[in-house]
Amino acid sequence: MKLRVGLLGGGSWGTTVASLVSRNAPIKLWARDAETVDDINSNHRNSKYLPDSVLPRELKATGDLGEAVADADVLVMGIPSSNFRAVLEEAKQYLRPWVPVISLTKGLELSTGKRMTQVIEDVLPGHPVGVLTGPNLAREIMAGQAAASVISMEDEIIVKQLQQLFHSGLFRVYTNTDLLGCELGGVLKNIIAIAVGMGDGLGAGDNTRSALITRGLAEITRLGVAMGGRPETFAGLTGMGDMIATCTSPLSRNRHVGVELGKGRKIDEIIDDMLMVAEGVKSAPTVMALAKEHGVAMPIAEDVFEVTKGNRSAVQAYRGLIRASAGAESDAG
């Protein structure tokens, strides 16, 4: 019997993952927006978030949370971090015991500093938890371009079963049992992408971009390992791979924020003009708190945090980065 999947969230990535899964299993996507639900069911499109893509006819959407959750053998969460807990609390009443819950969200909960899998464990104790994460830009995948991702859970048996659910055509899915490392890679690279975007917005060159990505990867690896992740995870798809895609693609929301900051725009007006969430802006205060808690130096992330708070301009942050004294490459900073 095929596993039945419920996916919560009708944004670009949630819709993309639902489209991929629909080739392998029956899936019902829940979206709060009635127009999105109707668009998916009637037109096989999500015009709001993926205007150029035709969705599989097998993909069905609903505005009824219970309908998406009650029969699900696997629940997938494509909800932004700011609403993640609230939607999960709402879904809890419909979810059967022991159903695995997979997060697609690359963010941290602002009020608690928790990763999304920790939020799942809070709300749904006893349910196996995991993440699907990697260098995955929704529009490229919907256009049929090859991509690789990682499904990560601590349980090696369950993760291998779920691998087949998400693996689809040119979308190759690997497994990894370092849940903390995989999840943190996806969260932390967003902040570095804002820094790279600021450099691009200021007219910096490829050398600068390369340096920021490389030193940024060193920063997120230090924090990730200090928190209990495995170093090799950050050199893989969920660390370096995701970092490269998010820092260099014009489709990246976090890079876009940085580019606009580099042009001198204020953070509030940039966010107001965006249809989708840039998780790096929301995560920055929590990341800095975690860095302080674990005694890890993150000068690039700190500069981004100061710029997003309005305490420093992108020009000032950039000058600070290039003036910083340099020691051995293996040193922090």
Binding-site annotation, residues for NAD(+): 9-14, 138, 253
Cβ pair 75, 130 in contact under 8 A: no
User: Of 298, 279, 300, whose CA–CA distance to 289 is shortest?
Assistant: 298
3-state secondary structure of 219: helix
Amino acid at 126: G
SS3 string, 117-169, reads HHHHHHHCCCCCEEEEECCCCHHHHHCCCCEEEEEECCCHHHHHHHHHHHCEC
3-state secondary structure of 96: coil
Does residue 189 carry a catalytic annotation?
yes
Binding-site positions for sn-glycerol 3-phosphate: 106, 134, 189, 242, 252-254
Cβ pair 18, 27 in contact under 8 A: yes
How far apart CA 157 and CA 162 sit, in angstroms, is 9
Question: Mind giving me the DSSP string for 160-215?
Answer: HHHHHHH-BTTEEEEEES-HHHHHHHHHHHHHHHHHHHHHHHTT--HHHHHHHHHH
How far apart CA 254 and CA 282 sit, in angstroms, is 11
Cβ pair 102, 21 in contact under 8 A: no
* Token pair for 325: 């004294």
Cβ pair 7, 78 in contact under 8 A: yes
Question: Mind giving me the DSSP string for 12-79?
Answer: HHHHHHHHHHTTTS-EEEE-S-HHHHHIIIIIS-BTTTBTT-PPPTT-EEES-HHHHHTT-SEEEE--
- Catalytic pick among 28, 114, 160, 189: 189
Which phi and psi angles does 70 have, rounded to 5°?
Answer: -60, -40
Cβ pair 59, 87 in contact under 8 A: no
* Token pair for 224: 């990730």
Active site residues: 189
